[in-house]
């Protein structure tokens, strides 16, 4: 089977492409290298150095004898998008090619507009291209658990049975996202669901939790195959930042009370979830949703786990929360469908001990402590252009 991985140069796209290739799929990757440009804009970089895409592809060929096709272009270009799909003729498309940072989307009006334009328009072009070239292509789209927000009821896997005034219907689960990035993902989900109804497409929307880890079985086979490790306050995940702070002897900075709860999963489980979704496609016309996470933690719980497991003394410090979110909330989300397909999860406590502390220690010289502090706040101020978020970047 041919699988096209969009955003294949990114943190998750690259190891996903390798995992699919290692499992016998014929894989192509597509990217416009926007993620690398964000580093230059923000004055940040991956803790673990990453090779250019051409070197990555060559390295994979050296160690496995398998080739990866490469397409360079932007999904906001409808001609490029359609011709890429027509040329490669995939049976499945894995879509990672979006701006993925909530703080980045909240820097100011320009970054909010860019995020929504890049993500929503790119996905719309992709849907039309699939409908034109081959409606049987299975779209596997990376969404986010952040689409749901933190409702005071259980979160189901995408759909909700609702009874109102004596009548019952099945509808998409109500969404209350917490940033313009998360809003773009909500718009994607609605557009994809509509395209499945209108065009007869088939799609799997993976509402993914926070991913941690940097190594998979495939990325460790050659230095050129390494994927990113972001720890800064804009693109870095909370766990990565806390681990790097612990290794550097810096207090672990917890936003607000730290009682915010999030679903999380190991990067090895992420790539396996994608493989399982590709191997078990949705039916024609079906829009299905999997909640893709394996464990739930509060932010303070993560900090306390690191303090317990790290071999040196660790301090925890609370700072003002730059985000507009509930400091304490109910959180219970269903996540059984990928487990039913055969996912066997890794545990965070094992991953911390097995790899994350060691990876950070090995690359400690690359750490820039100035990147720990939050520089983007969700509060808005009016100016001559309109609302903008208060931010200091770089």
Whole-angstrom distance, CA of residue 394 vs CA of residue 385? 22
Residue 386, pLDDT above cutoff 90: no
Chain centroid offset of residue 152 CA? 24
Provide the pLDDT confidence category of residue 392 given band limits of 50, 70 and 90. very low
Rounded-to-integer distance, Cα 394 and Cα 375, Å: 9
Per residue in 252-294, pLDDT tens? 999 999 999 999 999 999 999 999 999 999 999 999 999 999 9
> What is the H or E stretch that residue 168 is in?
strand 167-172
| Domain 2-373, CATH class in plain words | alpha beta
Which position has the higher pLDDT, 20 or 394?
20
Instruction: Write the pLDDT tens digit of every residue in 83-130.
Output: 999 999 999 999 999 999 999 999 999 999 999 999 999 999 999 999
* Spatial contact of 274 and 314, defined as CB atoms under 8 Å apart: no
Using the predicted structure, report yes or no on whether residue 131 has a pLDDT greater than 80: yes
Helices (H), the chain: 13-22, 34-42, 53-64, 78-88, 102-105, 109-116, 122-133, 180-199, 238-247, 267-279, 299-309, 337-340, 348-351, 357-362
Three-class DSSP category at 151: coil
pLDDT exceeding 70 applies to what percent of the chain?
Answer: 96
- pLDDT-based confidence at 381, cuts 50/70/90? low
Q: How does residue 380 score in pLDDT terms, banded at 50, 70 and 90? A: low
| The pLDDT of residue 385 | 42
Closest CA to 308 of 357, 260, 262: 357
**pTM listed for this prediction:** 0.95
148-203 tens-digit pLDDT: 999 999 999 999 999 999 999 999 999 999 999 999 999 999 999 999 999 999 99
Contact 281, 202 (CB under 8 A): yes
In degrees and rounded to multiples of 5, residue 95 shows phi and psi of -110, 100
User: 251 is written with which tokens?
Assistant: 């207090």
C-beta separation of 277 from 3 below 8 A: no
Query: Which of 56-60, 295-299, 386-390 has the lowest average pLDDT?
Result: 386-390
What does the alpha-carbon distance between residue 388 and residue 394 come to, in Å, rounded to a whole number? Answer: 17
- Catalytically annotated residues: 144, 181, 185
CA–CA separation, 144 and 263 (whole Å):
10
Domain ranges in the chain are 2-373
**Helix (H/G/I), strand (E/B), else coil: 106:** coil
User: Angle at the Cα of 129 (from 123 to 133), degrees rounded to 5?
Assistant: 150
Q: How far apart are the first and last CA of the chain?
A: 43
Structure tokens at 40: 């230059």
* Residue 284: φ, ψ to 5°: -55, 130
């Amino acid at each position: 089977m041919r699988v096209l991985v969009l955003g294949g140069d990114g943190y998750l796209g690259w190891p996903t492409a390798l995992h699919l290739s290692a499992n016998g799929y014929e894989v192509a990757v597509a990217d416009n290298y926007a993620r690398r440009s964000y580093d230059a804009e923000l004055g940040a970089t991956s803790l673990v150095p990453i090779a250019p895409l051409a070197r990555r592809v060559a390295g994979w060929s050296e160690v496995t004898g398998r080739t990866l096709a490469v397409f360079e272009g932007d999904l906001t270009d409808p001609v490029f998008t359609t011709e890429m799909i027509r040329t490669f003729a995939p049976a499945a498309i894995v879509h990672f090619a979006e701006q993925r940072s909530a703080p980045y989307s909240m820097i100011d009006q320009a970054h909010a507009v860019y995020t929504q334009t890049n993500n929503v328009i790119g996905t719309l072009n992709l849907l039309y291209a699939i409908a034109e070239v081959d409606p049987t292509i299975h779209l596997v789209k990376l969404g986010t658990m952040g689409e749901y927000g933190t409702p005071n009821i259980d979160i189901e896997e995408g759909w909700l049975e609702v009874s109102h005034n004596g009548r019952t219907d099945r509808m998409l689960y109500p969404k209350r996202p917490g940033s313009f990035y998360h809003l773009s993902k909500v718009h994607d989900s609605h557009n994809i669901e509509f395209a499945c109804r209108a065009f007869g497409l088939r799609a799997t929307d993976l509402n993914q939790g926070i991913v941690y880890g940097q190594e998979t079985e495939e990325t460790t086979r050659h230095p050129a195959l390494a994927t990113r490790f972001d720890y800064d306050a804009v693109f870095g995940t909370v766990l990565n930042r806390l681990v790097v702070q612990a290794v550097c002897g810096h207090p672990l900075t917890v936003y607000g009370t730290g009682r915010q709860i999030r679903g999380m999963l190991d990067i090895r489980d992420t790539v396996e979830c994608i493989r399982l979704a590709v191997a078990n496609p949705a039916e024609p016309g079906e829009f299905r949703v999997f909640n893709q996470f394996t464990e739930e933690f509060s932010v303070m719980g993560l900090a306390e786990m690191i303090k317990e497991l790290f071999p040196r003394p660790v301090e925890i410090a609370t700072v003002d929360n730059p985000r507009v979110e509930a400091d304490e909330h109910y959180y219970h989300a269903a996540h059984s469908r990928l487990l039913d397909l055969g996912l066997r999860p890794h545990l965070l406590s094992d991953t911390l001990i097995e790899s994350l502390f060691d990876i950070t220690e090995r690359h400690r010289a690359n750490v820039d402590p100035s990147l720990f502090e939050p520089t983007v706040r969700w509060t808005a101020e009016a100016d001559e252009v309109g609302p903008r978020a208060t931010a200091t970047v770089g």
